[in-house]
A and B are shown apart, each in its own frame.
Chain A
């Protein structure tokens, strides 16, 4: 495959990842969010495979498969089960209204490009132009955690952040060493399980998964 075409595909996939990130920012329905998250994982996995092919780093194939298994199949499945069990597929309330969130997201993307411009000039990797997108994805994930009230959206935001980090690792240095990646993947899986268990407990304690309720835990003075 021509390296230029690879770079083109890479950029295209980066754009899709960013698009899904924005999609998650505005999506109000739970299932919609999980679907978008699945799509993001798929793009990520494809991107990893292509980068691995172009750069000749074969361990990236394993990462790619791992991503596919975890973020496209297993985690969405867990989230589906969670949503069904807890019956929380109703619409998600946000703290700030959606257009405002979008504007902040756009500002973050511009900020990321501004931040990464010196890196782009120094780097000679195929994937250098996507670094800014990766950073933007991380920040949008964090923004999502800030603007949503619901505990399940919090974890999706967290996972989206992790996606961004993974993306950044692939595009900045052709991926982390395999051991690290395996470790991170395992961490994510365990985090998802722990979140799941906690959600059940929170649900039984507060009868809701609205994290505003948790402010009641604060010590009164």
Chain B
């Protein structure tokens, strides 16, 4: 407990001290991000230890409102999320030392440093909070700090719009969470006493089903808004691309995870028993997010926007695991519930790592080329070999390919799906195979998407008109990415160790554990339920892949004449140029055709036949714009209705004192008549 609290205090310290070093920006960057890295290291060590030892400790801070002190509680679930947050923030803080220096001489970075520290501290406090008040205070600290981080380059109108949208969605969500806690606190102690605001009191209380459902639905709505679950995801692809890349890595990697933490905490821990359809709701929203997220990601040409849509997809996959676990729990199948929950939480950690890695890679590319549009990039593998290799690791992980970590968690999710025919109920029997199929589709589409992302960005030739001097990322940036990539590999080849480490979580939340069966055949083989059903050995696959790569490399390079470099065959065209390369729009075209009904596509081809004959056009303009349908479906009606309503209400405000007096006069008369 103390180690985590001291880590939080260190982060606050770094935020507080930053304004003092305003005039010495280089020192400020070095010192504060190093401090953040040390704090994260402390936090990660504390988190790993807490989960490993399975202890729960509490602390009451006599601050806050009178008679409402802040309660802190560090249990294995909190410890797990602290580990996730701190691991990524350690890597990102190291990376930031190099990345933020890119702003030197362009703009002061003091605000970035201050809010970076506050943001990390806020996330840790959310996880530590053990009462509704402290939770919401921390939640707001986190939301406000990240708002200012998104706003960092505030001279661009795009950034201001994105930050505003983010602020609105975050607050609508926060209101829903507040109401949910209000329901729970109210039912715990009634409205006479405030003592129901602690999570401990909520844990012990029994809630009537309809109120529990209301509290759950409100909390799910609130957390889903933060997590970017479809259809509440629109802020995410706006805010993540415009934030500085180290911040987007943290926002996408771990801030969304605090929402997952909230869902797990509220449903499994605070509310306790639930009917199966709560799990089904989570599962369905998870499936929709996964499929829609990846489809929208495929259509993006902005590297960071693409990654942001992938966060939507991965949050969906995590929710699939959690939803399945809730279904299994409600049918009293603790072993399967434990498996599904482990799958969801494992993916939480994995996504934090590989999405952090990918955003750091995208940041390195942005740092070097000052370009976010993939259509303008290409061939970066020659200039930035390290970044390319590390980005590739991230791509392989997120595409759920062995031997990296993404495969393990998606495979575990599939195992949970495949074991669910044991479930009763025809509706579920219909839903589960459909869900498994959609998850498979998601995986395939994600792989396609990252072939596109990596291929267009790093392979081929430079497509842009400008030709900037591209340099490899600096040593600290590389260090951050290398550590994240190594963690991805580690989690991919040693899943049994991790699952045994995480066992305490499922034991406390759903009452069973899979660690003993999962590791029954030694550390090499992962056998989630039983070895005859399924088993996977990450290390064997890794060694196999390594061997194949080594053999191919030797075959190609042992003879120096095996590789020839020749001009590209131009299919008979006279002048082939870089603009003629296969690009992102062309890559995603088949999928755009198949799933076109899901997007709002505007595509125009304009020929300018100024030559001798229309058959020989001089110029061809291609215009493609793809927008999120949810804007038109959900957001525009809401916005328009609220504007209409407020205009109508605004008519009450005439600016005349008499009118206002008449309002109160009539109110008094009516009240007197009716209350008589």
Chain A contact residues, CB within 8 Å of chain B? 95, 111, 115, 118, 139, 142-143, 145-147, 149, 154, 211-212, 214-218, 221
A-B contact pairs, 29 of them (CB 8 A): A95-B658, A115-B672, A118-B676, A139-B665, A139-B668, A142-B664, A142-B665, A142-B668, A143-B665, A145-B657, A145-B658, A146-B658, A146-B661, A146-B662, A146-B665, A147-B658, A149-B658, A154-B657, A211-B656, A211-B658, A214-B655, A214-B656, A215-B654, A215-B656, A217-B655, A218-B653, A218-B654, A221-B647, A221-B650
A214 contacts across to B, CB distance below 8 A: 655-657
Q: How far is the CB of A197 from chain B (nearest CB, A)?
A: 18
Q: How far is the CB of B672 from chain A (nearest CB, A)?
A: 6
Q: How far is the CB of B653 from chain A (nearest CB, A)?
A: 7
**Contact residues of B between 623 and 652, Cβ < 8 Å to A:** 647, 650
B658 contacts across to A, CB distance below 8 A: 95, 145-147, 149, 211
Task: Indicate if the CB atoms of B657 and A211 lie closer than 8 Å.
Answer: yes
Task: Indicate if the CB atoms of B661 and A142 lie closer than 8 Å.
Answer: yes
Q: How far is the CB of B586 from chain A (nearest CB, A)?
A: 48
B664 contacts across to A, CB distance below 8 A: 142
B672 contacts across to A, CB distance below 8 A: 115
A123 to B329, alpha carbons, bound, how many Å? Answer: 64
Main secondary structure of the interface of A (DSSP, over half): helix
Of B647, B658, B665, B672, most A-chain CB atoms within 10 Å: B658
A142 contacts across to B, CB distance below 8 A: 661, 664-665, 668
A165 to B672, alpha carbons, bound, how many Å? Answer: 16
Q: Are A218 and B655 CB-contacts (below 8 A) given A115-B672, A115-B676? A: yes
Q: How far is the CB of B667 from chain A (nearest CB, A)?
A: 11
A142 to B672, alpha carbons, bound, how many Å? Answer: 15
A84 to B662, alpha carbons, bound, how many Å? Answer: 30
For residue B662, which residue of chain A has the nearest CB?
A146
Q: How far is the CB of B643 from chain A (nearest CB, A)?
A: 11
For residue B655, which residue of chain A has the nearest CB?
A218
A95 to B656, alpha carbons, bound, how many Å? Answer: 12
Instruction: Tell me how many residue pairs across A and B have CB atoms closer than 8 Å.
Output: 39
B653 contacts across to A, CB distance below 8 A: 218
A147 contacts across to B, CB distance below 8 A: 658
Chain B contact residues, CB within 8 Å of chain A? 647, 650, 653-658, 661-662, 664-665, 668-669, 672, 676
A205 to B280, alpha carbons, bound, how many Å? Answer: 65
Complex partner residue of B656 from A111, A139, A212, CB under 8 angstroms: A212
Complex partner residue of B661 from A118, A145, A218, A221, CB under 8 angstroms: A145
A218 to B657, alpha carbons, bound, how many Å? Answer: 11
A154 to B654, alpha carbons, bound, how many Å? Answer: 18
Task: Indicate if the CB atoms of B655 and A216 lie closer than 8 Å.
Answer: yes
Q: A111-B669, A139-B665, A142-B665 are in contact. List 17 more A-B contacts (CB 8 A).
A: A118-B676, A139-B668, A142-B668, A145-B657, A145-B658, A146-B661, A146-B662, A149-B658, A211-B656, A211-B657, A211-B658, A214-B655, A214-B656, A214-B657, A215-B655, A217-B655, A218-B655
A211 contacts across to B, CB distance below 8 A: 656-658
For residue B665, which residue of chain A has the nearest CB?
A142
A154 to B658, alpha carbons, bound, how many Å? Answer: 10
A221 contacts across to B, CB distance below 8 A: 647, 650
A217 to B654, alpha carbons, bound, how many Å? Answer: 10
For residue B653, which residue of chain A has the nearest CB?
A218
A95 to B657, alpha carbons, bound, how many Å? Answer: 12
A146 contacts across to B, CB distance below 8 A: 658, 661-662, 665
A142 to B423, alpha carbons, bound, how many Å? Answer: 69
Q: How far is the CB of B8 from chain A (nearest CB, A)?
A: 44
A95 contacts across to B, CB distance below 8 A: 658
A145 to B659, alpha carbons, bound, how many Å? Answer: 10
A212 to B653, alpha carbons, bound, how many Å? Answer: 14
B655 contacts across to A, CB distance below 8 A: 214-218
A143 to B661, alpha carbons, bound, how many Å? Answer: 9
Q: How far is the CB of A101 from chain B (nearest CB, A)?
A: 13
A144 to B657, alpha carbons, bound, how many Å? Answer: 12
A111 to B647, alpha carbons, bound, how many Å? Answer: 36
A49 to B657, alpha carbons, bound, how many Å? Answer: 36
**The 4 nearest A-B residue pairs measured at CB:** A218-B655, A215-B655, A146-B661, A215-B656
A146 to B669, alpha carbons, bound, how many Å? Answer: 14
B656 contacts across to A, CB distance below 8 A: 211-212, 214-215
A68 to B668, alpha carbons, bound, how many Å? Answer: 30
A217 contacts across to B, CB distance below 8 A: 655
B665 contacts across to A, CB distance below 8 A: 139, 142-143, 146
Q: How far is the CB of B182 from chain A (nearest CB, A)?
A: 33
For residue A145, which residue of chain B has the nearest CB?
B661
A216 contacts across to B, CB distance below 8 A: 655
A145 to B662, alpha carbons, bound, how many Å? Answer: 9
A218 to B656, alpha carbons, bound, how many Å? Answer: 9
A41 to B34, alpha carbons, bound, how many Å? Answer: 76
B657 contacts across to A, CB distance below 8 A: 145, 154, 211, 214
A214 to B665, alpha carbons, bound, how many Å? Answer: 20
A115 to B650, alpha carbons, bound, how many Å? Answer: 34
Q: How far is the CB of A186 from chain B (nearest CB, A)?
A: 24
A128 to B436, alpha carbons, bound, how many Å? Answer: 79
Of B650, B661, B668, B669, most A-chain CB atoms within 10 Å: B661
A221 to B648, alpha carbons, bound, how many Å? Answer: 12
Q: How far is the CB of B272 from chain A (nearest CB, A)?
A: 50
For residue A148, which residue of chain B has the nearest CB?
B658
Q: How far is the CB of B668 from chain A (nearest CB, A)?
A: 8
A79 to B664, alpha carbons, bound, how many Å? Answer: 26
Q: How far is the CB of B266 from chain A (nearest CB, A)?
A: 41
B661 contacts across to A, CB distance below 8 A: 142, 145-146
A212 to B656, alpha carbons, bound, how many Å? Answer: 6
Q: How far is the CB of A199 from chain B (nearest CB, A)?
A: 14
For residue B657, which residue of chain A has the nearest CB?
A211
A88 to B60, alpha carbons, bound, how many Å? Answer: 65
Q: How far is the CB of A119 from chain B (nearest CB, A)?
A: 10
B647 contacts across to A, CB distance below 8 A: 221
A147 to B676, alpha carbons, bound, how many Å? Answer: 27
